[in-house]
Structure formats: C-alpha cells, structure tokens
Homo-oligomer: A and B are copies of this chain.
Amino acid sequence: MALVVVGSVAYDGVETPHGKVERMLGGACTYISLAASYFTEVGIVAVVGEDFDPADRAFLARRKIGLEGLETKPGKTFFWSGVYSQDMNDRTTLRTDLNVFAEFQPVLPASYRSQPYLLLGNIQPALQQSVRAQMSALRLAGGDTMNYWIQDYREELLAAIRHWDFLLINDGEARMLSGEHNLRRAARAIARMGPSTLVIKRGEHGALLFHQDRLFAAPGYLLDDVCDPTGAGDCFAGGFIGYLSQGQAEWQDLCRAVIYGSVMGSFCCERFGVERFRTLTRAEIDARFEEFRRITEF
C-alpha cells in the first residue's frame, strides 16, 4: 500500500435527466479510492453498517483496494439521495441519513500509519486532522472540504489544512475560504493558510492548479453524454493523488496529475455511480490523457 484514503462509504439514490437509481454504492472514499486504484495501492479508512453488501466489498477488493480500515458497525450505512437539474449543474439533496457515519472516529490500522500518501475526503476537519496526526511518514497529504465546513467550522478547518500540502476545492469554496473573488488572489491567500498547492475544480470548465505563483489550466472534457456527475470531483481527487503517489511531485507532475484527475472525473460521469469502474482499463485512461494533450496543443 502507498496511499491512505479517508472519507465516506455510502449508498446513494440519484436521479438525473438520464434516469434514476434508488440505491447504489457511493461515498467520497469509494470514488476516490476507485479512481486512485488505477495508479497506486490504496487502503481506505471508513465505516459501514451491517447492511453493506458483500458484493460491494468484493468489487472494491477486486480493484485491490485495501479494506483493513473499513470498519463495520451495528446499524445502517450512510445514505444520501439527490436529484440533478436538467442541465446537471445543480443538485438538490433529498435525504441524508448519516447512520453509522454519525459516530465515525477513524482509527488507522498499524499498517496504514507509515504510508507516504494521504487523501482526506470531505469530512469534519477535526476528523481529517486526527487521521493526519496518526500518520508518521507522510510525503504528501491533502484533501477536500466544502462550504459547510468553511462557513461553520472555519477555525477547525484552518487548523487542519495548515498541515496539508494540497487542497482540492471548487471556485465558490476557494472564494469563500479566502475572501477573495479573484482566483489568483484567492490562491495566494490559501497558500498562506498552509497548502502550497491549490487545485480549483470547475466541473465542466476544467481545473486550475496554483503552486508557488505558477498556474496551470486544464480544460473540462466534453463528454457526448453526462449520465451522472455524482462522484466526479472525488474521482478527480483520486486520479490526482493516485498519479502523484507513483513518485515525484515536481511542477510537471502536478500538471499531469491534474489531467489524470480530469480524466478520472470524466469517466465517472459516463455511467451512474461507480458503474464505469467495473469495466474501465488503464489503457482507456491513458488514451484519454493523450486526448487531453491533443485538445490543448497549439
């Protein structure tokens, strides 16, 4: 194992203009680890209930995702459901049942603690911080957060990200966190908070990478059909950290990691939930990486 991923493993109910699925495997940790599993060895830290389907566990295991840190607790697995707008740029949450996730206190198996890479999915900053503190030989650590923590848990979040190497958020979150509308200034402000690398995920509009006053801009991938955008941001994070977990993290590596993140996010949208990862191959991933090269070269 090389990469530890922490976050939610959940069941999701999703409705998009392309259809409706009542209940399927989801959760940030699931998407991140699936995407990262194409690049490196991954171990997850998460909690599920007694209703967690052995078939879903087997699916993760087939992708060689380490499940030693996947705890099963009495009760039900985290459930979320939502419905997307016609253009899929907005979604409305219908239900959030935290279930066993409400009491999640991540404790890392001994074998995880000496791993070099850490991706903290979007959970309460204090939990992110507790996981990071359990790791003793980190080479690169970072993660995701959201408007809720930025607004209502600001001090706790600032205490957590102070130790992060990178932060992955969207435009609105970067603006909210930094208090700057302009993204260049927002990036400078966020660098002063700790993370020397900032990746701004802009959905269909691609992603921006800021690092030591350098900028890289990746376009969004134009799919013929976006089936279900759920998990795309997490798959971006998984591709990003997965690629970096292979070794170097120089400027060019960071840029390529952003492209691999974009690639993984784009595949995620092609089917409902995690379906695309049942068939996706590394060859398809590398072909799309090259396609990104073609659409950006001039």
A interface, CB within 8 angstroms of B? 86-87, 181-185, 202, 205-206, 208, 215-220, 222-226, 252, 255-256, 258-259, 292-293, 295-298
Q: Are A87 and B255 in contact (CB under 8 A)?
A: no
A218: chain B residues at CB < 8 Å are 219, 298
A258: chain B residues at CB < 8 Å are 298
Docked complex Cα distance between A223 and B297 (Å): 22
Other than the given A205-B205, A258-B298, 20 more pairs (CB < 8 A) read A182-B223, A182-B224, A182-B225, A182-B226, A205-B206, A206-B206, A206-B219, A215-B222, A215-B295, A216-B296, A217-B219, A217-B220, A218-B219, A218-B298, A219-B219, A252-B298, A255-B297, A259-B298, A293-B298, A296-B298
Docked complex Cα distance between A46 and B205 (Å): 36
> Smallest Cβ distance from A164 to chain B, in angstroms?
23
> Smallest Cβ distance from A254 to chain B, in angstroms?
9
Docked complex Cα distance between A128 and B75 (Å): 68
Q: How many copies does the complex hold?
A: 2
Q: Are A296 and B217 in contact (CB under 8 A)?
A: yes
Q: Are A222 and B183 in contact (CB under 8 A)?
A: yes
> Smallest Cβ distance from A4 to chain B, in angstroms?
26
Q: Are B185 and A208 in contact (CB under 8 A)?
A: no
Chain A interface SS verdict (over half):
mixed
> Smallest Cβ distance from A96 to chain B, in angstroms?
29
Docked complex Cα distance between A218 and B205 (Å): 10
A87: chain B residues at CB < 8 Å are 181
A219: chain B residues at CB < 8 Å are 206, 208, 217-219
A208: chain B residues at CB < 8 Å are 219, 222
Task: Find the B residue at minimum CB distance from A256.
Answer: B298
> Smallest Cβ distance from A1 to chain B, in angstroms?
28
A259: chain B residues at CB < 8 Å are 298
Docked complex Cα distance between A31 and B191 (Å): 37
| Chain A to chain B contacts (Cβ below 8 Å), 22 pairs | A182-B225, A182-B226, A184-B223, A184-B224, A185-B224, A202-B205, A205-B206, A206-B206, A208-B219, A208-B222, A215-B222, A216-B296, A217-B220, A217-B295, A218-B298, A219-B219, A255-B297, A255-B298, A256-B298, A292-B298, A293-B298, A296-B296
